[in-house]
């Protein structure tokens, strides 16, 4: 990192490590054509997209990453197949084996995102991880659970909260609203904590009855 | 919590919140029978098992949780179907909406687990989250990345490390060894950090070529 940051341009989302990994699982023997069709319908403008045998990486600004995820998952769900998507959103720790940014870099804030509704109901288990460092942080990052309780409260106000299970909060609503809730919590906590990850398991078209 | 802990029994793994959530995705139109068959082959002794429409919760001691996961995933993979499993292991934060243990409870250490091999190759993306609190921790929990680098080094020594992608380490080996590597890292970091979560996306029988 340059030592005189006042003379350098602000970091881009990619330099700050903003992005996602996701695995789109299709419970159908036609999964290859459903996945390829869904990927073909999503707009990758502004994104780095890299797929391997385990998951797909998306690098880019928050709004672009989430728009892509919404479009891929919605397209797969519209086939009627039962879908489960495992999503990881990460910020503040770019690089591969090691973080290329040291701890204590000023958080790169982002605006909340807004996603057009899909008309598709999604249910998700959601976990949020503010990755504090013992020494850094200051008053606003004193413990890792307070910001989690804050964003769960927000999800309740927004009508997306559907209860809490062990290790995860349940969200229920339009696919776009579910993704928006998780992403905006991740963005919000990222205003004060450098490295923040959030995981979602999103279920669509499940034949399993939804608990009362 | 009792205030005089010297007169009380040590916490059980369930009281300390040791457990897992997992979603077993089967890329086949026969997924219902494959999933039910796999669940039927696993030994749930010692475990609380609760399934809903999104994922399954397992509560219990580390060795029991991991044995169950190995057996379910191995049974599903032996059908030959392409499988993806999203696994979350958590410790130190029992309860649902809120942690029932306050921050700063002494870590409940566990012995490393050992799983009998399956003969089934698995590849995984793996992320580990030591959830430090700003004020607590002390010297051994000064930053959240150091323990992560330590366990990645261990995975290299064990021959399971297969490279690093953005936000995740790639593991490749027998399904049992992949689960063992992730679980033992989670257990090891849990000796000094109260709340530790780890996420795995495990892929089996994928038709996608494995990168060289």
How far away is chain B from the Cα of A111, in angstroms, using its nearest Cα?
22
Q: Quick one: average pLDDT of B75-97? A: 95
pLDDT of B184 above 70 = yes
A55-59, A148-152, A154-158, B100-104: range with lowest mean pLDDT: B100-104
How far away is chain B from the Cα of A4, in angstroms, using its nearest Cα?
25
pLDDT, tens digit (0-9, with 9 covering 90-100), for B26-57 = 999 999 999 999 999 999 999 999 999 999 99
Q: How many other C-beta atoms are found inside a 10 Å radius of the C-beta of residue B202? A: 26
How far away is chain B from the Cα of A142, in angstroms, using its nearest Cα?
5
B132–A134 C-beta distance less than 8 A = yes
B209 pLDDT band, cuts 50/70/90, is confident
pLDDT, tens digit (0-9, with 9 covering 90-100), for B58-82 = 999 999 999 999 999 999 999 999 9
pLDDT, tens digit (0-9, with 9 covering 90-100), for A76-134 = 999 999 999 999 999 999 887 888 888 878 788 899 999 999 999 999 999 999 988 75
How far away is chain A from the Cα of B121, in angstroms, using its nearest Cα?
13
Q: Which of residues 102-131 of B touch A (CB under 8 A)?
A: 103, 123-125, 127, 129-131
Nearest-by-Cβ selection for B165 from A96, A129, A136: A96
pLDDT of B5 above 90 = no
CATH code for residues B12-97+107-204: 3.30.70.930
pLDDT, tens digit (0-9, with 9 covering 90-100), for A25-78 = 999 999 999 999 999 999 999 999 999 999 999 999 999 999 999 999 999 999
A135 pLDDT band, cuts 50/70/90, is very low
ipTM: 0.92
On average, the pLDDT of chain B sits at 90
User: What local confidence, expressed as pLDDT, does residue B67 receive?
Assistant: 98
* pLDDT above 90: percentage of residues in chain B: 74
**Across the A/B interface, how many CB contacts are shorter than 8 Å?**
208
Q: Quick one: average pLDDT of A178-200? A: 95
pLDDT, tens digit (0-9, with 9 covering 90-100), for A38-50 = 999 999 999 999 9
Q: Where are the domains of chain A?
A: 16-95+117-204
pTM attached to this predicted model: 0.92
Q: Among B143, B163, B166, which would you mutate to test the A interface (most chain A Cβ atoms within 10 Å of its Cβ)? A: B166
User: What local confidence, expressed as pLDDT, does residue B147 receive?
Assistant: 84
Composition of chain B by helix, strand, coil, percent to 5: 30, 25, 45
B135–A142 C-beta distance less than 8 A = yes
Q: Which residue has the higher pLDDT, A135 or A148?
A: A148
Q: Among A134, A145, A189, A193, which would you mutate to test the B interface (most chain B Cβ atoms within 10 Å of its Cβ)? A: A134
Which residues of chain A make contact with B135, given a CB cutoff of 8 A?
A: 142-143
* Phi (first) and psi of residue B203, to 5 degrees: -115, 135
User: What local confidence, expressed as pLDDT, does residue A142 receive?
Assistant: 61
The second-level CATH assignment, the architecture, of A16-95+117-204 is: 2-Layer Sandwich (3.30)
Question: Cα separation of A91 and A66, whole Å?
Answer: 13
Helix residue ranges per DSSP H, B54-200: 62-77, 145-157, 175-189
Q: Which two tokens stand for residue A183?
A: 């992403």
Q: Which of residues 149-168 of B touch A (CB under 8 A)?
A: 149, 152, 163-168
A124–B165 C-beta distance less than 8 A = no
How far away is chain A from the Cα of B164, in angstroms, using its nearest Cα?
5
* Length of chain A as a residue count: 212
Q: How many other C-beta atoms are found inside a 10 Å radius of the C-beta of residue A125? A: 26
B126 beta partners: B169, B200
pLDDT, tens digit (0-9, with 9 covering 90-100), for B137-166 = 444 446 788 888 899 999 999 999 999 999
* pLDDT above 70: percentage of residues in chain B: 92
Question: Cα separation of A81 and A57, whole Å?
Answer: 23
Q: A46: alpha, beta or left, given left = phi > 0 and alpha = psi -120 to 50?
A: left
> What's the count of helices (H) and strands (E) in chain A, helices before strands?
4, 8
* Phi (first) and psi of residue A90, to 5 degrees: -140, 150
| A23 inside 8 A of chain B by CB | yes
Q: Which residue has the higher pLDDT, A189 or B133?
A: A189
Q: Which two tokens stand for residue B33?
A: 């029978």
B192 pLDDT band, cuts 50/70/90, is confident
């Amino acid at each position: 990192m340059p030592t005189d940051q006042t003379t350098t341009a602000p970091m881009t989302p990619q330099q700050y490590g903003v992005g996602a990994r996701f695995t789109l699982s299709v419970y159908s023997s036609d999964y290859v054509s459903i996945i390829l069709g869904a990927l073909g319908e999503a707009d990758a403008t502004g994104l780095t997209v890299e797929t391997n045998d385990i998951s797909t990486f998306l690098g880019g600004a928050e709004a672009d990453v989430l728009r892509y995820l919404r479009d891929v998952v919605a397209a797969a769900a519209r086939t009627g197949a039962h879908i489960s998507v495992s999503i990881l959103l990460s910020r503040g720790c770019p690089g591969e084996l090691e973080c290329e940014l040291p701890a204590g870099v000023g958080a790169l804030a982002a605006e909340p995102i807004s996603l057009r509704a899909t008309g598709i109901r999604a249910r998700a288990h959601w976990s949020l991880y503010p990755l504090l460092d013992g020494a850094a942080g200051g008053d606003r990052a004193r413990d890792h659970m307070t910001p989690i309780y804050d964003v769960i409260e927000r999800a309740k106000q927004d009508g997306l909260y559907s209860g809490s299970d062990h290790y995860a909060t349940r969200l229920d609503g339009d696919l776009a609203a579910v993704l928006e809730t998780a992403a905006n919590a991740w963005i919000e906590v990222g205003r004060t904590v450098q490295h923040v990850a959030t995981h979602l398991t999103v279920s669509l078209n499940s034949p399993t009855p939804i608990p009362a």
